[in-house]
Amino acid sequence: MNEYIYFDAEHAVRVHDQIIINSGGILGIINYGLLESSIEHTKNDYTILILRINLLIFSFQ
């Protein structure tokens, strides 16, 4: 199975801050734990999605 590379919360904050610096707004994160949780869930959900797609594709053979 392929190895996927995901970004971490620190990277998300850096990108967020760069966008805010360029476009205007308030820097900072209100709840860092929620950000980390969202990123971890995305990793799990994506892996499950890939497994379900594989199962669906191979079930037709």
Q: Is the pLDDT of residue 1 over 90?
A: no
Q: Is the pLDDT of residue 59 over 60?
A: yes
User: Residue 24 domain-assigned?
Assistant: yes
Q: Find the angle CA(35)-CA(38)-CA(40) to the nearest 5 degrees.
A: 110
Higher pLDDT, residue 15 or 50: 15
Is the four-CA dihedral 22, 28, 31, 37 of positive or negative sign?
A: positive
Segments forming the whole domain that contains residue 32? 9-59
Tokens of residue 25, six digits: 């707004």
User: Residue 17 domain-assigned?
Assistant: yes
* Structural domains in the chain (count): 1
Coil, helix or strand at residue 23: helix
pLDDT tens readout for residues 2-18? 677 888 999 999 999 99
pLDDT tens readout for residues 18-32? 999 999 999 988 999
pLDDT at 15: 94
| Residue partners of 9: CB distance under 8 A and separation at least 6 | 32, 35, 36, 39
Higher pLDDT, residue 43 or 26: 26
